[in-house]
Amino acid sequence: MTLELQKPRPIWQIMFSTHHTDVGLLYLISSLTFLFLGGSLALGIRAELFLPGSQIIADSMTFNRIFTVHGTTLIFLFIIPFASAVGNYYVPIMVRYKDMAYPKLNAIAFWMIPPAGVLIWLGFADFTWYATPPYSIISAPGPAADMWIFGLKILGISSVLGALNFVVTILKCKHPDMSIGQIPLLAWSFLSSSLIIIVAIPTFAAALLMLLTDRLGVSGFFNPAMGGDPISYAHLFWFTFHPEVYVLVIPAIGMMYEIIPRFSRKPIYSYNSGIFAFVMLSIVGFSSWAHHMYATGMSFTEKTVFMVGTLAAVPASAMHVFNFVATMWNARIRFSTPMMWAVGGIALFFSAGAGGVVNSAMPLDFTTHDTYWVVGHFHLFVMGTIAFGSIGFLYYMFPYVTGRMYNETLGKIHFVLSFIGTVLVFFTQHVLGLYGMPRRIYDYPPIPEWIAMNQIASIGAMIIGISMAVFLANMIHSAGKGKLADTDDPFGLGGKYYYPFEAKNPSH
Amino acid sequence: MSQDNSQNFQRTSPARVGRMLAIMLGVCLIGGIIFFSMWDYWISEPPHVISVMAGDVDHSGPAEATGITITQNLSFLESADFRSLTFNALKDEPGVNPTIEMSVGDKIVFDVVNDGMSFHAFGVTKDTEGFAGIIPGSEIAAPTNPLKPGESGTSEFIAGEEGTYYYICTVPGHRDQGMVGEIVVSGSSGPAVAAAPTGVSHEFELDFIESADFRTLAFNALPGEEGNNPQIIVNSGDEVTITTNNAGMSFHAFGVVSNPDDFNSVIFDSAIAAATNPLKPGESGSTTFTAGAPGTYHYICTVPGHALQGMIGEFIVE
Amino acid sequence: MSGHSNWPEWIYVAVVIALMAWVGAEAWEAERLVEHVPADAKTIIATGQQWFWTFEHEDGTKEIGELHVEVGKAYKFEVVSTDVNHSFNIHDYVVLIDAIPGRVNTVWFAPDKVGEHDIQCREYCGLIHYNMRGTLYVTEPTS
């Protein structure tokens, strides 16, 4: 269950292991590495945008490459693998099975991630993480663009293989005495997100292949000069990636379903609502993709249909928020580090959703589309909800994985700094977007309001950077030299609401 | 639920954490070295579809430079509002987007510098619009890996056939915003080779004159008057003697040049004085030389700017 | 697992649904009005290319990087692109529509005050997307 043996275990044994705890650990280390790599790029972006003109980045091509890889890395190489890490570690335990359904496939799915990461990072393409044609076909230089396409293809396959594994493990390998209505909500969240992946990702895989053949000049799917339509790529892309944002958020909400009831020392307010909300979100999430395309020239009817689809998903998300708040109501809450992160995450999730309602309203979207409002909005989701939930869960998992406790004070400092920084950066960016600053720009005209808000955002980003340094130090030091944890009840909660943490690793 | 964990429980040790970190750091360092040293390589090629869309590739390929070598200095310039982009001078100013005249078989060596604040790249094309069809060998940088402000580069262009070529900034849109100049290639029947000395001699006398307001300079007569900037035609191999008198109030010098915009491109050893040691008012000088390969050349005052102000005439060798 | 009454949750969900329905209805109505192009709107063809805007008025006048219009008149933009996706945006008048090569998109506006406003590109289009800007001049009518 833990990192190492007193009798040392060779690293190659972990690397070639197929046991779910080892694969989970590999996913964990890889995703955290990419968190820091992608996060450093973000610091670079914010440092550059501190003032108009060139600060630390010499030209716009470099800047374009940096934000492309920033987005690609954090979504595909941090958030998804981190969720896989948690899933790999806990899903077999939660369904009382000895391992994942296909352990070797599991390991293969992990090992696709480092080569894909290398392809993406070596090339450093410049066409944003959407890779929208026609730019990505006729204007984006290679081989960086082609490497990105191959890297994402590999990651897509990895995701689908992992998702298949989760679905089969949960549905087919769960303990015979356990009904589907008894597995923890964290397991339900993996079931939902895996089902979404299986339905949604193949569309993007097709789009990537078409993009590649278009770049080679062999086909003309999205290239108007060869008879194609760029908007069809947008449809294919967003058909995958709107549900994909639910793939990103649902596991994080699932993680909060572990943390919040436990630290409130109360059962979840409504387990059934949790299941219902996850399933609803997964299904309704497929009906709203073209709200990303309001400005492409769709007809009034099309826009209305997608607006309705978008708004229909809001009650499901709102149900989760209600569930959490109702669980915490009148509870004897223990605000340890994981709980702080989960609660902060819920608050930011609510703000992100509220801002999203503005975007979904058709005419309002024309004010906010492709401005910093959108940047602030989605970062409140990916940073404010997903990263907060993930990091909180990481603190929660720490004693179980390493057998030691992290430093609680540093953990709380990490949270406070991150929360302040996140609010400073992303709330400000909403306002910046209302003032009209477009996305993905290397430089901006010296409008005083823009400069002031960019500076606030950059300061917030530096605060987040400092907090992450604290985090790194805490994790590394505590993994080696932290106080030994009581694995029955590391947080001193009374131990009444746990399920047993038993994982028998055959190599131990 | 509670396990007897004190024996089954295995924790990591500081040494193992340290070793793992060392390995990861090593991987990052090696990766970083590869990464930073090849940063520009990965964005160096346009997608293959561009050449498919451009149709078949290009006319040119004369390969050999059988004529003269012309040096052309160009600099990318932008107007302050960034609306108009040009070479060498701003729009409507003298010397903007200079036209280069050459003969088939001549070679131009371009020395291009980015004096603007934005990014540019360079190439020669025969297309009358757009940025495709760049003739190999003439490109400097590329739109995907452009010249940054202050950077410079060289390239060359050898004219394979008659016609009008265009030197442009190859960054999409820049040609449309003004960064284009013409290269007029005139034909020569057969390779342009200097004939053997014919024994025929010519003598010409040219006076440097200036208008009263010093705005206009010319040889022999002001523009509009008879005899202004006389055209000189000789045969290849003839002996030519040119005597120049400085009838103005300023300093002048003389030379037959291959590129009228480049006062350094003096050919045939025809210089009289030089910008650095010019003829003073009232002074005279003369030069005798043999006319070289056939072509259309120019004689100019080689003091910088004087040719632009009008001290230029045609020197045709047949 | 839920041994307590659920009515707070039902009420909460009902409130959320009502709120979303209201937002949807208001947005639908607003968009319907916004999309109705007045019959007397003058057409301006706005062409986006890497990395500048050009405009062509009905009478054939062309402008590069600048657009002169008159106060109080309605203008309909036909937005096209010659290379990659751009997005034509006059933020102060909430004019926003993508310029997609191979199609013509339409948006209209009627400036109501004399002044100068920024035109910007709001869809990533490469190297100088950040500076693909122009100026809108709203002037008094000449006639």
pLDDT in tens, B24-54: 889 888 988 988 888 878 887 778 887 777 6
For A394-409, the pLDDT digits (tens) are 999 998 888 889 999 9
User: With contacts defined as CB-CB under 8 Å, which chain A residues touch C8?
Assistant: 322, 326
Please answer yes or no on whether B10 and A6 come within 8 Å at the CB atom.
yes
**What local confidence, expressed as pLDDT, does residue C1 receive?**
39
* Better-scored residue on pLDDT, C6 or B207: B207
Domains parsed from chain A with CATH numbers: 13-484 (1.20.210.10)
Q: Which helix (H) or strand (E) holds A154?
A: helix A144-172
State yes or no: pLDDT of A194 exceeds 60: yes
Looking at the complex, does the CB of residue C85 fall below 8 Å from at least one CB of chain B? Answer: no
The conformation of residue A436, written as its DSSP 8-state character, comes to: T
- Least confident interval from A306-310, A480-484, B96-100, C1-5: C1-5
What is the H or E stretch that residue C68 is in?
strand C66-70
Looking at chain C, the whole-number percentage of residues with pLDDT higher than 90 is 76
| Contacts with A305 (C-beta within 8 Å, 6 or more apart), sequence order | none
Contact B119 C128 (CB under 8 A): yes
Choose between B226 and A435: higher pLDDT.
Answer: A435
Intra-chain end-to-end CA distance of chain A, in Å: 9
pLDDT tens, residue by residue, B164-196: 899 999 887 788 888 999 998 886 544 456 667
Angstroms from C127 CA to nearest CA on chain B: 8
In a 10 Å sphere around its CB, with 0-12 CB exposed, 13-18 middle and 19+ buried, how is residue B44 labelled? middle
pLDDT at C143: 65
Closest to C26 measured CA to CA, from A326, A360, B198: A360
Out of C50, C64, C65, the one facing B172 most closely (by C-beta) is C50
Determine the pLDDT at residue A485.
83
Please provide the average confidence, as pLDDT, over all residues in chain C.
91
Q: Which of residues 12-71 of C touch B (CB under 8 A)?
A: 49-52, 64-66
- Measured in whole angstroms, the distance separating CA B114 from the mean position of its chain's CA atoms is 12
Residues of chain B with CATH 2.60.40.420: 69-186, 201-317
Confidence of residue A357 (pLDDT cuts 50, 70, 90): very high
Q: Using CA atoms in the order A365, A367, A370, A373, what is the torsion angle rounded to 10 degrees? A: -90
- The answer, for B197 touching chain A at a CB cutoff of 8 Å, is no
Cβ–Cβ < 8 Å for A254, A189: yes
> According to the model, what pLDDT value does residue A309 have?
94
How many separate helices (H) and strands (E) can be counted in chain B? 3, 16
Query: Average per-residue pLDDT in chain A?
Result: 91
Average pLDDT (B129-134) is: 80
Q: Which two tokens stand for residue A238?
A: 């967003």
Q: What is the rounded average pLDDT of the residues A69-97?
A: 94
Q: How many CA atoms lie within 13 A of B32 on its CB side?
A: 7
State the pLDDT at residue B226.
Answer: 84
Q: CATH classification of B201-317 is 2.60.40.420, yes or no?
A: yes
Can you tell me the mean pLDDT for A39-50? 96
Q: What is the pLDDT of residues C32-86, one digit of tens each?
A: 988 899 999 999 999 998 878 999 999 988 888 889 999 999 999 999 998 899 9
Q: Give the separation between CA A473 and CA A200, rounded to whole angstroms.
A: 38
- Note the pLDDT of residue A507: 47
b (16+ CB within 10 A) / e for C27-40: bbeebeebeeeeee
Mark yes or no for CB contact B172/C64 under 8 Å: no
Q: Name the residue of chain A whose CA is nearest to C123's CA.
A: A370
pLDDT value, residue B3: 40
Instruction: Among A165-169, B81-85, C40-44, name the one with the lowest average pLDDT.
Output: B81-85
Over residues A330-353, the mean pLDDT reads: 94
Across the interface, whether the CB atoms of B82 and C50 are under 8 A apart is answered no
Assess B179–C contact: CB distance below 8 Å, yes or no: no
Instruction: Grade residue B130 by pLDDT with cuts at 50, 70 and 90.
Output: confident
CB-based contacts of A299: which residues, under 8 Å, 6+ apart?
none
Cis peptide before A134 (omega within 30 of 0): yes
pTM exceeding the 0.95 threshold for the entire prediction: no
Is residue B78 a contact partner of residue C127, using CB atoms and an 8 Å limit? no
Question: Class assignment of domain B69-186?
Answer: mainly beta
Residue A7 confidence (pLDDT): 54
Tell me the count of A-C CB pairs closer than 8 A.
Answer: 158
Mean pLDDT score, A441-464: 95
